Amino acid sequence: MYHHTFSSVDKIGKGLLRSFDELTPNTGFKDDDIVRYVGLGTGHAKGTAVTWNDDGDSPYDRLGPAVRDFVAEQLADDTVRAKVPGEEFRLTVFQVRNYADDKQIARPSQGFHQGGGDHVLVTVVAEEDVNGAVHMLALAEDESALVFERRLGVGETLLLDDRTLTHHCTPFTPKAGGRAQRDLIIVSLARTDAEARG
């Protein structure tokens, strides 16, 4: 069991920030009526090389080049390489903009959950006027046993062991009326190398 936070701010450029503005609204991402903006991509990482799957239908937008570049840079980061064992992974990447206004409260997650892989990286790319959005980690066998509880800052990444921990992000509202929004990239890694299969 582990979790670790580190800065990814050096990997967040104008192209990545703009890519969230290009996402289209979507409902049903969490089986509810909340409107979110969602991009989805899958692929495979071997060492520091990432290949992307561009086939198949999805109800979500495809990941653009800026997001793909960010993920590749993040997976090559010395911190990630030191903390995540293995050389080959199946990737599932979500690019999500959650927002809250006078019509809806933002619900980034629906309670504690696991992503179904071995490791998860959650990065806050940007946010505006957010009140709430506290990230929480608990033991998978006992969700009342919290091991982490705090807000992540812009540019901060939370890396966690998805096999032994569950994660949750609390709802958020605008601090001062109007609209609040928060942009995230979530990367789920499932090991596919020989050691993981053995």
The predicted-structure confidence for 82-112, as pLDDT tens digits, reads as follows 999 889 999 999 999 999 998 899 999 878 9
pLDDT for res 116: 87
pLDDT for res 127: 97
- Average pLDDT in the chain: 92
CATH number at residue 164: 2.60.120.620
Token pair, residue 178, equals: 């109007």
Q: What is the pLDDT of residues 176-185, one digit of tens each?
A: 889 999 999 9
pLDDT for res 197: 47
- Owning domain of residue 134: 3-197
Q: How many domains does the chain have?
A: 1
Question: Residue 186: is its pLDDT beyond 70?
Answer: yes
Token pair, residue 84, equals: 């995540």
Question: Residue 31: is its pLDDT beyond 70?
Answer: no
Q: What is the DSSP string of 24-42?
A: PEES-TTSSS--EEEEEEE
pTM reported for the whole predicted model: 0.94
Percent of all residues in the chain with a pLDDT value above 70, rounded to a whole number: 94
Kindly give, in sequence order, each residue whose CB lies less than 8 Å from that of residue 20, ignoring residues fewer than 6 positions away: 37, 95, 97, 125, 126, 183
In angstroms, rounded to a whole number, what is the distance separating the alpha carbons of residues 164 and 7? 23
Q: Helix or strand or coil: residue 17? A: helix
Whether residue 181 contacts residue 127, with contact meaning beta carbons closer than 8 Å, is answered with yes
Percent of all residues in the chain with a pLDDT value above 90, rounded to a whole number: 79
